[in-house]
Amino acid sequence: MKTITIATLTLIASVGLAYAGAAEGKELYTAKCVTCHGANGEGKPAIAKMMNVTQRPLASKEVQARPDAELKKVILEGQGKMKPVNGVTAKQADDIVAYLRTLK
Ligand code: HEC
């Protein structure tokens, strides 16, 4: 029993390290991104149609291949038809990127 507890705690600790900020990022994602990108980053046909763009799923290989710095820039400065997201600090953008990495 004790071994299991230790193993579980170690697992939680290492996952926590790998995805530092992902929990905060998930909350921010839900508040700021879900309306346009969907719960799992799959995109929203209505938004894509309205903005006349193709939305790549955020979990796709193409998006996941982009470095953290680029994804952060998209959040803070926008990209193409996506406007910069209001009220997101640089630190919060890092947390959101950490969360995006959990989508793949
Ligand atoms: C008002 C709708 C809207 C909101 C809100 C929004 N996005 Fe977007 N996002 C878009 C659209 C539309 C595109 C495609 C833009 C283009 O390529 O012209 C896009 C593109 C992206 C891309 C680039 C994907 C690629 O193809 O490489 C990323 C990453 C992204 N969004 C992340 C986010 C995150 C994270 C948030 C929340 C902090 C967010 N977006 C909020 C509409 C939105």
Q: What is the mean pLDDT of residues 66-91?
A: 97
Please provide the distance, in angstroms rounded to a whole number, between the alpha carbons at the two ends of the chain.
33
Categorize the per-residue pLDDT at 4 as very low, low, confident or very high, splitting at 50, 70 and 90.
confident
CB 28 within 8 A of CB 88: yes
The domain spans of the chain are 21-100
Using the atom order of ligand 1, give the atom closest to the CA of residue 54.
14
User: 55 in ligand 1 pocket by Cβ < 6 Å?
Assistant: yes
pLDDT of residue 68: 97
pLDDT of residue 5: 75
Which contiguous run of DSSP H or E holds residue 64? helix 61-64
CATH number of the structural domain 21-100:
1.10.760.10
Using the atom order of ligand 1, give the atom closest to the CA of residue 81.
18
Reported pTM: 0.86
User: 50 in ligand 1 pocket by Cβ < 6 Å?
Assistant: no
Q: Distance (Å, rounded) from C-alpha 100 to C-alpha 104?
A: 8
Q: Distance (Å, rounded) from C-alpha 92 to C-alpha 3?
A: 36
Which contiguous run of DSSP H or E holds residue 10? helix 2-18
